[in-house]
Structure 1
């Protein structure tokens, strides 16, 4: 399939772009001392070499970061220039334009300085619901000083070689706080009217233009409609965008989604698989249509947010929603996304499934972003190039879940002769169950992508075959990789005499008959318990209580998904009971214990108890082969039950050892 719009040239402020596809700004967790780090530049370089038209830096603070250990970047001093210049040189070599992004968090400051909360600022002293900060209302001298910081930071970036500057306005940061009539309750020149509320942004743009000169492009990124009661309204946001463009102080407007200030808004910044594709396009269409109606044709509209296929990007351009279209997670999942699309190999793209586990999931905990499907992301210096093995070996992989599939695919890509043996009739392992959870069908894309890889690299697949040590020996392997996964863990059956007890796996497979009143005992605290609870409540109209062995639903998953799980369960009418330890059950009662104070909790009138009690691995075949084959490895859940991320990464890492 061709993508003529996507790979057609364009320009912003006379700056040429070889195509209309950009790699959007995003936190990477790879900065070093507030500066772009070597690991980060290697990550960017893998995408720069692969046919993108434009790349943005992650958001850079305009003030120093002393005392903040959370990995982020700053352009507050000249120390930022060498790494930015290195990036600029890489971009120039590959005909990629390079834009820098600047921001100030305002009241939505998450980081601590030396372990202590700092004084946050905002247009008015309106509390931030998510961060629980009460900011200091900025004085006019403070505003003027900060405008100067933006200007000097932008000048540094341009001196380093960037082609353009973007102010991160949206997502609830300081400039958006000034635009919001709910957060900005000032009565001076910086509030009180739409004109007053946009004054800070206009003054910042003007100061930056004066500092950087005429050549670089200048624009801002905004979320026209927030998932936040204090956020921006679409109608007024569009009017503000048109007014700023009409004033001639910007060259582009970049549309995003989400807001950092509420638990509802923050997941929308990185829309999960619960969100339809192209979440950024309706507001982008509204802004671009308003600009056209006003007769403004020299301000380009960009957008990124839940675009994971080139077909979606092409459609957005063809239908006039945007002038340029961007993605982040699509490039995290496949650094060759643009090259494959350009070369007519779109079917080879490892499509992002919007699970958010290793991208924003890592970022939110201060670790480098990665991808559960593509663990080479952020590890490019070690795994960025799949080299041919010095000696071809015969490799047998036992277990056709995601870990075994990844090990087989990478080993075959490196030139080994690989046979993959799976006892089930289909490859996929636990992913085949995970995709049955409500709203998570897209998770099955993990297996779709891996099937494409093992087919492309010539892996021999045997399904419906139970591997034994005798069978493995028949293959005369040089290497055996055990990836046999795990099975549900069921506590002592004596605890449940007389009770109707089933496992979450049995529910998802359609093997269990469940009564009207259900308790789901969720020890694992991940996606499974909440998903099964929602499934039983919504699809089977059961009355469901979810007893969670943690502080909250989804206790072990990343926060953005945790918030969505809580919202979905509340909307479905599932009762969530946290801090619960399962003790036992009988004919109609489930016996629990509070994990902190050990007080008993009895849930009566129960027809069925569903166990989401975690899993148990097994190394029986591995142990039987110790000393029997030249090389023997075990990966994934058979070692210790964890997640798809660990299984796939261990599969890749093991294949690199061969």
Structure 2
């Protein structure tokens, strides 16, 4: 059984193959993580995960999904992350962060308030995208980014990576999935540009490649860099698994160490065949055809299922999301169910 074996990622060694996926909490003020984030992320490190990835963390105020998003666009946010990363690493886990820009899906309410676009009197801000195409009816029309603004987005990712390192993070995941800005550039459904950032596969992937290159310039060679993608838009004429394999092949040479393989989120009202492990075949195909490490995510709730994914070679890690919200100690439960012994914190060892 490989689920509880280490995985080398550059200079780091994940203590097992269970990773806590980034999950937005919509609970920050001015982009500052607080006690909630310390307890939320810290409890999952205590719970035995190898890597805890902080939620989508905005590289600019404009790139927030909601007013409650955390960020890394200023030094106050950097300082607020430091006690959180210190606690995570103190529990033997790796502290990761997902850097993100929401693009046309920014300026929305928290999900428990409806998740709809903010009204002007509720603090809405101008959204941006590759093209002036709104996400859905009744959503605001985003402003198409010009080349100077695109360069500024790249610089924002680069600056956030510098702050991530100073904040104590040991791994960065770049968010190019779920219909957010980088994904919007990838897909022909949202990218209708006719310049060097639109049209061909090479042009639509240009921004992702530029962001990776900019981050790799400042992110230590000894530390891993992951990329989360949506392997398919689940919509005809959109981004698909064939393009995902090709992108994975290209970004591997740019310094990407693992493709975190999700799907969907770019366009609304699509039919997705949701079932346990429904995205695993995408991770398996990318791993096989692009010869790069992958992560599997999506309705993986059972320890035996997670173990089978790794044993069969479908992915190198399993990312646990909503199951971790139900059970922050899922890795410890999985170990017990699978008959594996893992170390508990000193404070908890009398329970083992």
TM-score by length of structure 2 reads 0.87
Which of 119, 124, 130 is 2:126 aligned to?
Answer: 119
Which of 309, 331, 335 is 1:338 aligned to?
Answer: 331
Long gaps (5+) in structure 2 = 109-117, 340-352
Cα deviation, residue 82, structure 1: 2.5
Cα deviation, residue 217, structure 1: 1.2
Which of 150, 158, 173 is 1:166 aligned to?
Answer: 173
Q: Distance in 1 between matches of 2:198 and 2:257?
A: 25
| Aligned CA-pair RMSD | 2.4
Counterpart residue number, 2:202: 195
- Are 2:310 and 1:317 aligned? yes
1:475-508 CA distances to partner (integer Å, 9 max, x unpaired)?
Answer: xxxxxxxxxxxxxxxxxxxxxxxxxxxxxxxxxx
Q: Distance in 2 between matches of 1:249 and 1:276?
A: 32
Contact kept? 1:330, 1:337, Cα under 8 Å: yes
Total equivalences in the alignment:
330
Counterpart residue number, 2:2: 5
Contact kept? 1:46, 1:335, Cα under 8 Å: yes
Contact kept? 2:41, 2:88, Cα under 8 Å: no
Counterpart residue number, 2:97: 100
Long gaps (5+) in structure 1 = 269-273, 293-298, 347-658
Q: Distance in 2 between matches of 1:203 and 1:176?
A: 14
- Are 2:142 and 1:145 aligned? no
Contact kept? 1:151, 1:211, Cα under 8 Å: yes
- Are 2:249 and 1:250 aligned? no
Q: Distance in 2 between matches of 1:63 and 1:114?
A: 21
Cα deviation, residue 213, structure 1: 2.8
Contact kept? 2:183, 2:266, Cα under 8 Å: no
Q: Distance in 2 between matches of 1:228 and 1:342?
A: 38
1:40-93 CA distances to partner (integer Å, 9 max, x unpaired)?
Answer: 211222211121101100001111269997421111101112232112211221
Q: Distance in 2 between matches of 1:177 and 1:69?
A: 18
Cα deviation, residue 264, structure 1: 3.2
Q: Where in structure 2 are the equivalents of 1:130-141 lying within 5 Å?
A: 132-141=139-148
1:252-302 CA distances to partner (integer Å, 9 max, x unpaired)?
Answer: 11111330531337xx6xxxxx8310122011112111113xxxxxx4211
Q: Where in structure 2 are the equivalents of 1:410-559 lying within 5 Å?
A: none
Counterpart residue number, 2:281: 282
Contact kept? 2:184, 2:266, Cα under 8 Å: no
Counterpart residue number, 1:77: 74
Q: Looking at CA atoms only, which structure, 1 or 2, has the larger radius of gyration?
A: 1
Cα deviation, residue 38, structure 1: 0.1
User: Would the alpha carbon gap of residues 66 and 127 (structure 1) be closer, same or farther in structure 2, given more than 3 Å must change?
Assistant: closer
Cα deviation, residue 164, structure 1: 1.1
Q: Distance in 1 between matches of 2:81 and 2:306?
A: 28
The higher relative CO (CA closer than 8 Å, separation ≥ 6) is in: 2
TM-score by length of structure 1 reads 0.48
Q: Distance in 2 between matches of 1:187 and 1:28?
A: 37
Q: Distance in 2 between matches of 1:224 and 1:154?
A: 24
- Secondary structure of 2:140 counterpart: coil
Cα deviation, residue 175, structure 1: 0.7
Counterpart residue number, 1:154: 161
Counterpart residue number, 1:326: 319
Counterpart residue number, 2:346: none
Q: Distance in 1 between matches of 2:8 and 2:26?
A: 31
